[in-house]
């Protein structure tokens, strides 16, 4: 799944990252359960490809750490999380990976 650490040219200086999509299906079912895990991405245009290629995502786990270095946002914060939900449109979204390291700045109370 697409993902990007940091905006624009800064992306080339930061570690590569990716999101993941897991699909669970039994042999007898025609529909499965789709789980999208954002990874430490920011919202950007390539995320729009996810619901086009994989509609009907059941659960989205969004990394919402809100990490900033020198004022530059490197991982989604709550505001970008809302944008990501609108783009990907999972049935249920659970925010994760926030406030669990000192570099993450999105506390639970704003999510």
Report the CATH number at residue 45: 3.60.15.10
Tell me, yes or no, whether 1 lies in a domain: no
Residue showing tokens 């989604």: 76
Q: Check residue 67 and give its pLDDT.
A: 84
Query: Smallest Cα–Cα separation from 21: which of 48, 57, 47?
Result: 57
The pLDDT tens digits for 13-71 are 777 888 999 999 888 877 789 999 999 899 999 999 999 999 999 999 999 988 888 88
Considering the entire predicted model, what is its pTM? 0.82
Does residue 64 fall inside a structural domain? yes
> Is residue 28 domain-resident?
no
CA pair distance 104, 74, nearest whole angstrom = 10
Q: Determine, yes or no, domain membership for 2.
A: no
């Amino acid at each position: 799944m697409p993902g990007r650490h940091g905006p624009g040219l800064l992306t080339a200086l930061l570690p590569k990252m990716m999101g993941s999509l897991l699909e669970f299906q039994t042999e007898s079912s025609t529909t499965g359960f789709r789980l999208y895990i954002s990874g430490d991405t920011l919202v950007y245009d390539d995320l729009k490809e996810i619901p086009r290629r994989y509609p009907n995502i059941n659960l989205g786990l969004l990394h919402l750490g809100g990490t900033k270095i020198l004022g530059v946002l490197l991982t989604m914060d709550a505001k970008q999380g809302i944008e990501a939900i609108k783009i990907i449109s999972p049935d249920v979204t659970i925010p994760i990976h926030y406030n669990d390291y000192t570099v993450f700045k999105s506390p639970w109370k704003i999510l």
